[in-house]
């Protein structure tokens, strides 16, 4: 499949899989937008393969998760080396990796996160949680920054890009606590659960609902800290990329803020933001991108240098 057709498939994938990201991506220049779509297409496909989903919907059990992860690694390695795999999302990754010089380690780091899920991993500590968030989202943030023109050696900006991925994933985890519990998963650290007197095998127990809501709010607050840090990195990007990143940060950040305001409603229904809220952030982010004056100290925040 040629590049133009891969771009069309990638565009359809992001429009189906994430309306928030699809809307924000329209702010990029054409070249950056196409590359962002190609990268998303591969990320979405890997996520779906790992969870037995279709664009994030309908989670099902994978018969042989280790074999699935091994196939994912093999196809990613082949496409990174410039080979055609015949699998469009992986070929899309190969195109953007070749065009932008994405280090293979970042792709491997992302797949390592899916491998953790495949073996039924659960975080023991907050550090474990943040390492997981790095693997499945922070590494993607770094790859996206490189797609936008950031050097793979610019570690300061890549740390901020990683922060945005962490913010997004923390919001995802906060939103999906009930859905994950139904699927037998829990991303709340065991030491958090112990401190809140919540049985890790019965986190949805009605008598501990208020304690669980407090932990969800803690996730949302963490997401806000990493979102604030990520905004600093946007200052190093070209204007249109900066605008897109700030819009995405606001749009996705609103998910965490809505969960925080919902007082536990996220345990009963899926929280989402409206089309009007998304459009509002596109307008607001334009002004923020023009001012380009965000400052935020990363002191005390987790850093990807601690990833294992």
Q: What is the pLDDT of residues 258-301, one digit of tens each?
A: 999 998 999 999 888 888 998 999 999 999 999 877 676 788 89
What total number of domains does the chain contain? 2
Calpha distance 141→112 (Å, rounded): 15
Tracing tokens 């664009």 back to the chain, one arrives at 55
Question: Does residue 32 register a pLDDT over 80?
Answer: yes
- On whether both 128 and 74 belong to a single domain, the answer is no
Contact 228, 165 (CB under 8 A): no
Q: What's the domain range around 197? A: 122-308
Per-residue burial over 145-180, b if 16 or more Cβ lie within 10 Å, else e, is bbbbbbebebeebbbbbbbbbbbbbbbbbbbbbbeb
Tell me how crowded residue 248 is: count the other CB atoms within 10 A of its CB: 26
Tell me the average pLDDT across 107-134: 94
- On whether both 199 and 307 belong to a single domain, the answer is yes
Question: Does residue 307 register a pLDDT over 90?
Answer: no
- On whether both 198 and 244 belong to a single domain, the answer is yes
- On whether both 146 and 67 belong to a single domain, the answer is no
Tell me how crowded residue 184 is: count the other CB atoms within 10 A of its CB: 9
- On whether both 51 and 140 belong to a single domain, the answer is no
Last residue of a domain, one of 100, 135, 160: 100
Is 158 within the bounds of a domain? yes
- On whether both 231 and 169 belong to a single domain, the answer is yes
Question: Does residue 245 register a pLDDT over 90?
Answer: yes
- On whether both 210 and 86 belong to a single domain, the answer is no
- On whether both 195 and 306 belong to a single domain, the answer is yes
Taking CA atoms, 56 is separated from 51, 111, 188, 262, 299, in Å, by 8, 16, 20, 23, 34
Helix (H) or strand (E) holding 16: helix 3-17
Calpha distance 8→12 (Å, rounded): 6
Is 152 within the bounds of a domain? yes
What pLDDT, on the 0 to 100 scale, is given for residue 9? 96
- On whether both 291 and 203 belong to a single domain, the answer is yes
Calpha distance 278→18 (Å, rounded): 12
Tell me the whole-structure pTM to 2 decimals. 0.92
Q: pLDDT of 210-238, one tens digit each?
A: 999 999 999 999 999 999 999 999 999 99
Q: In terms of residues, how long is the chain?
A: 308
Is 113 within the bounds of a domain? no
- On whether both 211 and 253 belong to a single domain, the answer is yes
């Amino acid at each position: 499949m040629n590049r133009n057709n891969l771009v069309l498939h990638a565009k359809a994938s992001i429009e189906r899989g994430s309306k928030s990201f699809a809307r924000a991506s329209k702010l990029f220049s054409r070249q950056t937008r196409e590359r962002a779509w190609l990268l998303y297409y591969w990320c979405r496909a890997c996520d779906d393969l790992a969870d037995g989903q279709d664009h994030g919907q309908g989670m099902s059990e994978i018969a042989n998760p280790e074999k699935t992860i091994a196939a994912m690694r093999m196809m990613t390695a082949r496409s990174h080396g410039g080979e055609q795999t015949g699998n469009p999302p992986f070929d899309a990754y190969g195109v953007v990796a070749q065009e932008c010089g994405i280090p293979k380690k970042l792709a491997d780091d992302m797949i390592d996160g899916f491998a953790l899920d495949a073996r039924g991993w659960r975080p023991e500590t907050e550090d474990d949680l943040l390492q997981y968030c790095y693997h499945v989202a922070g590494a993607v943030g770094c790859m996206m920054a490189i797609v936008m023109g950031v050097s793979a050696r610019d570690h300061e900006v890549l740390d901020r890009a990683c922060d945005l991925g962490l913010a997004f994933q923390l919001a995802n985890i906060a939103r999906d606590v009930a859905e994950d519990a139904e699927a037998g998963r829990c991303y709340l650290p065991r030491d958090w659960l112990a401190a809140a007197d919540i049985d890790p095998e019965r986190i949805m127990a009605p008598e501990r609902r208020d304690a669980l809501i407090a932990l969800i709010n803690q996730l949302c607050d963490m997401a806000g800290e990493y979102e604030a840090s990520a905004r600093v990195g946007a200052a190093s990007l070209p204007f249109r990329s900066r605008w897109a990143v700030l819009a995405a940060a606001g749009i996705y950040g609103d998910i965490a803020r809505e969960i925080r305001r919902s007082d536990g409603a996220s345990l009963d229904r899926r929280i989402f933001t409206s089309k009007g809220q998304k459009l509002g952030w596109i307008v607001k982010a334009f002004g923020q991108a023009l001012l380009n004056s965000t400052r935020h100290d990363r002191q005390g925040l987790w850093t990807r240098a601690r990833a294992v």
